[in-house]
């Protein structure tokens, strides 16, 4: 096996461990996929205000669910190098940087804009995981979301009488993409 950036093979082996142990992030993809689908359902059934709050706070439900699922599905020992654990934490919380903007958008009742920001930040957030887990899965997921979000938005807003309630499918597509990636991660 080759080395990563010319670094010794011990680091190479450590870099392969998170993907193998965590099943390429299956637990997180499943948990967040489910919460995005629930947020989309709430958007459709309860309206944009409730849906936007669901999108904003879905991570509060998904994170502990993901950790629980991870405890049940992890295989093998976690990485020995604490720097990899730190890297995983940094990547996991990178989305927090968007929260001030999203909170302002929610506070000013820009339901659609706030949730679109969360959806796009979610897509971008996945790119580094391809490197961390040594798999193209997250590049593909980010690319699919980068195309699916605007296409679904455009398709759902083509009518003259469209309302913010009608765009629930955008957030459902985010959830379904995550669930599809979870299945690939589990089987991969």
Sequential pLDDT tens for the chain (188 residues): 444 444 455 655 655 555 555 667 899 999 999 999 999 999 999 999 999 999 999 999 999 999 899 888 876 666 666 777 788 778 878 888 999 999 999 999 999 999 999 999 999 999 988 888 888 999 999 999 999 999 999 999 998 888 888 999 999 999 999 999 999 999 98
| Confidence (pLDDT) at 37 | 99
With respect to residue 45, please indicate whether it lies within any of the assigned structural domains: yes
Report the C-alpha gap between 178 and 143 in whole angstroms. 12
> What does the pLDDT read at residue 5?
44
Q: Is residue 4 part of a domain?
A: no
Query: Is residue 1, in this structure, part of any structural domain at all?
Result: no
Q: Would you say residue 2 lies in a domain?
A: no
Q: What is the pLDDT of residue 175?
A: 98
Domain count, the chain: 1
Give me the domain span that covers residue 168.
Answer: 9-187
pLDDT value of position 10: 61
Structural domain contains residue 156: yes
Q: Does residue 59 lie in a domain region?
A: yes
Q: CA-to-CA distance for 24 and 20, rounded, in angstroms? A: 6
């Amino acid at each position: 096996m080759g080395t990563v950036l010319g670094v010794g093979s011990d680091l190479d082996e450590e870099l392969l461990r998170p993907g193998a142990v965590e099943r390429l992030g299956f637990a997180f993809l499943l948990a967040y996929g489910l919460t995005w689908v629930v947020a989309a359902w709430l958007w459709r059934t309860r309206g944009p205000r409730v849906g936007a709050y669901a999108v904003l706070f879905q991570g509060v439900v998904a994170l502990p669910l993901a950790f629980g699922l991870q405890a049940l599905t992890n295989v093998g020992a976690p990485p020995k190098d604490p720097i990899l654990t730190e890297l995983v934490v940094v990547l996991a919380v990178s989305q927090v940087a968007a929260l001030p903007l999203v909170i302002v958008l929610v506070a000013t009742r820009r339901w659609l804009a706030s949730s679109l920001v969360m959806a796009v930040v979610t897509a971008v957030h996945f790119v580094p995981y391809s490197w961390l887990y040594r798999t193209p899965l997250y590049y593909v997921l980010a690319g699919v979301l980068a195309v699916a979000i605007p296409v679904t938005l455009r398709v759902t807003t083509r009518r003259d009488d469209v309302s913010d309630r009608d765009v629930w499918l955008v957030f459902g597509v985010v959830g379904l993409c995550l669930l599809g990636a979870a299945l690939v991660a589990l089987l991969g």
